[in-house]
């Protein structure tokens, strides 16, 4: 899809987060306290990204996962915006911004915390 198509298919807030690397406010996303079994997919292109089995309550205000369900669908890159150095998480199929990954996740599950914007995701129960 081209940017005009994304602008037409996504709400302005979805576009701001997914295509312009924005962030939704903490504790406002629909998947923060979501506990159903299934797959979280990219809101922009539908690629499977994270399984509910990897979701955990980090207390951060955003849905958090220990690892991607389909590693080849999730990419990372350095993000030096806002005067800090972080690791951005993005969808490899469409390039949409998902969130950031940190090294403060559950140590017994690999130590990663994929901190993902709810608005970047769709959920498929299953």
Q: Known catalytic residues?
A: 115
Integer Cα distance of 93 and 47 in angstroms:
7
Q: Are 50 and 43 in contact (CB under 8 A)?
A: no
Q: Write the CB contacts of 99 (distance below 8 Å, at least 6 apart in sequence).
A: 23, 62, 88, 89, 114, 115, 116, 117, 120
> Which alpha helices (DSSP H) does the chain contain, by range?
3-9, 12-18
* Phi, psi (deg, nearest 5) at residue 116: -120, 135
């Amino acid at each position: 899809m081209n940017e005009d198509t994304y602008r037409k298919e996504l709400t302005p807030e979805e576009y701001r987060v997914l295509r312009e690397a924005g962030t939704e406010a903490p504790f406002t996303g629909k998947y923060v306290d979501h506990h159903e079994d299934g797959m979280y997919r990219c809101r922009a292109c539908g690629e499977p990204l994270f399984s509910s089995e990897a979701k955990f309550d980090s207390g951060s205000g955003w849905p958090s996962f220990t690892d991607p369900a389909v590693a080849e669908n999730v990419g990372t890159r350095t993000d030096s915006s806002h005067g800090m150095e972080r690791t951005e998480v993005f969808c490899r199929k469409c390039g949409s911004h998902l969130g950031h990954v940190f090294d403060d996740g559950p140590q017994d599950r690999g130590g990663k915390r994929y901190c993902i914007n709810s608005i970047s995701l769709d959920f498929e129960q299953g």
